[in-house]
Amino acid sequence: MMELAGNVALVTGGLRGIGAATALELAQNGADVAVCDLQQTPEGEQLLDTIRRLGRQVLFCAADVSNFNRAQEVVAEVVRALGHLDILVNNAGINRDHVIWKMTEQEWDSVLGINLKGVFNYSRAAAPIFRTQGRGKIVSISSVNGLRGQPGLSNYAAAKAGIIGLTKTLAKELGKYQVNVNAIAPGYIETKMTENLAADVKAEALKGTVLGRLGAPEDIAHVVTFLCTEGARHITGEVIRVDGGEYM
């Protein structure tokens, strides 16, 4: 089924991991896709080629999501190149882990800048478009660690908790314009960002699930895609955990 045919989606941090899986699944469901990331990569070019082979239009925009002005430019580029914008997926994120007494100001600022300010920047750029056209979907990637906190992740947890507060506020501000705003809180997902974590950290995450497995990027992409369809038209302001029962 091409449930998203005729839609244009913008995915930040869209060249790998959860972002790449999401961009591909949105395209498989009929959407034209714009992908925003720091720079193009061979792996990223393969993703864009795969989307093109599906018959979808695709656009790559190089950007640091923490740059407010660049966010405005990227959204304008998407509308100019693909005709309109219907879906925004705020996925871009980094981690710079340290306990609070070892964390540097730069580590704090960089994670808050990408993980939280980036969501503000792109939501701010898309909101006037969604408000004017009377429709739109915003899905932001938070984390179970934004719900519970975790040692060594004060910057990451604070940013991901901020996304939850921002999501609920935007849902209230944009609801009367028929814009749905939701967040997803993944548990441990096996991506390049997590592949270098210590084996004992992974083992502890696995032990914490009730399904006995770690998540894959596609597990998140499935839920993002659902939230962008008409089947989710009455869901807004929600934070959906996709964590194998890791946090409950």
Mapping DSSP onto H, E and C, the string for 132-174 reads HHCCEEEEEECCCHHHHCCCCEHHHHHHHHHHHHHHHHHHHHH
Residue 196: the pLDDT is: 66
- Active site residue ranges: 156
Does some domain include residue 205? Answer: no
> Is 154 domain-assigned?
yes
204, with CB counted inside 10 A (0-12, 13-18, 19+), is exposed
Q: What is the pLDDT of residue 134?
A: 98
- Of 198, 93, 188, the C-alpha closest to 144 is 188
User: Which domain covers residue 177, as residue numbers?
Assistant: 8-188+218-242
What's the CATH number where 77 sits?
3.40.50.720
204 located within any domain: no
Let me know if residue 45 belongs to a domain.
yes
In a domain, 3, yes or no: no
In a domain, residue 157? The reply is: yes
Number of domains in the chain: 1
Average pLDDT over every residue of 55-82? 98
Is the residue at 193 inside a domain? no
Which pLDDT does position 223 carry in this prediction? 98
DSSP at 49? H
pLDDT grade for 193, boundaries at 50, 70 and 90: low
Average pLDDT over residues 201-219: 86
Give the pLDDT band (50/70/90) at residue 131: very high
Whole-number Å distance between alpha carbons of 14 and 174: 25
Q: Burial level of 147, CB count in 10 A (0-12/13-18/19+)?
A: middle
pTM exceeds 0.75: yes
In a domain, 199, yes or no: no
What is the percent of the chain where pLDDT is above 70? 97
pLDDT band at 1 (very low <50, low <70, confident <90, very high): low
81-114 tens-digit pLDDT: 999 999 999 999 999 999 999 999 999 999 999 9
Residue 197 has pLDDT above 80, yes or no: no
Which band of pLDDT confidence, cut at 50, 70 and 90, is reported for residue 55?
very high
Q: Which of 41-45, 108-112, 193-197 has the highest mean pLDDT?
A: 108-112
Average pLDDT over residues 148-167: 95
